[in-house]
Amino acid sequence: MGTVKLLKQIDNAFFREVGEIAQFTARFFQTVTKPKQEWEEFINQCFWVGYKTLTLVGITAFIMGLVLTIQSRPTLVEFGAESLLPSMVSVSLVREISPVITALICAGKIGSGMGAELGSMRVTEQIDAMEVSGTNPFKYLVVTRVLASTVMVPILSSVGIAIGLCGGYLGVNIRGHISWNLFWHQAFEALSFGDLIPSLIKTFFFGFAIGIIGCYKGYNSKKGTEGVGQSATTAVIVASLVVFVLDLIAVQVTDLLGLT
């Protein structure tokens, strides 16, 4: 009986949270269309999102490209398909690795940052102070951050693809030799719009989800400093999970549309 009750409570909490996030998202769409946009803060947030994660995304993408090439090489050599390495690396990076890795890094860095920053502002009454001063805190804080992460994650993912391919070029040249021009020619030749467009579209969704969840957790933070910590942690966990779920959906949709 106790276990059933516990499961019911967990279920209730889960569905309540899903409902609240849906309400928060609906509020975002209601607010974003209202006039007087906070462009200055939006640009500021875009800079911070890019600035905070570019180095991390770059280093991770480079290592992923390098490792992927080095680890795939023996298998391809076995089948006499070593020349397909640039194509394989580019398709892997564009379709899956760069979007997902970038989104996970952003979930960790931006999601937790938003959760902690807005959470701290909530518990120190800074959000109330904004409201009292006549500024809509939802528009100023949430809308700008969500839009910034929606715009910046695809850009970061694209940068990640380029840097990851550089890592792949290095990986190919550790054991073999391929010219810079040939590597890029082969990498691009293997790609089609069916690879690029779905990848780009899903990163917009990843960025939006990271922004919404980070802001939702921070904006609704409670219980003082303990709550701020909880907001930051749960923002990362939930955003990372949602990234995987969205990726799964994106793969299914791409498959259904025959783009794979």
Partner 1 sequence: MEPVIQIKDLNKSFGDNHVLRNFNMAINAGENLAILGKSGSGKSVLIKCIISLMEVDSGEMIVLGKDIQLLNSDELDSLRAEVGFLFQSNALYDSMTIRENLEFPLRRHWSKEERKKGADAAVKEALEDVGLSHTIDMMPAELSGGMRKRIALARALILRPKVIMYDEPTTGLDPITSREISNLMLSVQKKYKSAALIISHDLNCIKMTSNRVIMLIEGTRYAEDTYENLRKSEDPKIKEFFD
Q: Which residues bind partner 1 (CB under 8 A)?
A: 120-121, 124-126, 128-136
Q: How far is the CB of 132 from partner 1 (least distance, A)?
A: 5
In the bound state with partner 1, the residue whose beta carbon lies nearer, of 31 and 173, is 31
In the bound state with partner 1, the residue whose beta carbon lies nearer, of 44 and 75, is 44
Q: How far is the CB of 109 from partner 1 (least distance, A)?
A: 17
- Which amino acid appears at position 51 of this protein? Y
Q: How many whole angstroms separate alpha carbon 260 and alpha carbon 49? A: 31
In the bound state with partner 1, the residue whose beta carbon lies nearer, of 82 and 131, is 131
Q: How far is the CB of 20 from partner 1 (least distance, A)?
A: 18
In the bound state with partner 1, the residue whose beta carbon lies nearer, of 20 and 128, is 128
In the bound state with partner 1, the residue whose beta carbon lies nearer, of 120 and 203, is 120
Q: How far is the CB of 48 from partner 1 (least distance, A)?
A: 10
In the bound state with partner 1, the residue whose beta carbon lies nearer, of 113 and 168, is 113
DSSP summary character for residue 142 = I
Q: Return the percent helix, strand and coil in the chain, to nearest 5.
A: 90, 0, 10
CA distances (Å), 31 to each of 34, 43, 137, in order?
5, 18, 11
In the bound state with partner 1, the residue whose beta carbon lies nearer, of 136 and 233, is 136
Q: How far is the CB of 46 from partner 1 (least distance, A)?
A: 16
CA distances (Å), 30 to each of 15, 57, 68, 72, in order?
22, 32, 43, 48
Q: How many whole angstroms separate alpha carbon 231 and alpha carbon 116? A: 6
Q: What's the token pair of residue 33?
A: 């269309």
Q: How far is the CB of 207 from partner 1 (least distance, A)?
A: 22
Residue of 149, 154, 100, 145 lying closest to 119 (CA atoms): 145
Q: How far is the CB of 127 from partner 1 (least distance, A)?
A: 9
Where b means 16+ CB within 10 Å and e means fewer, 43-77 reads eebbebbbebbbebbbebbbebbbebbbebbeeee
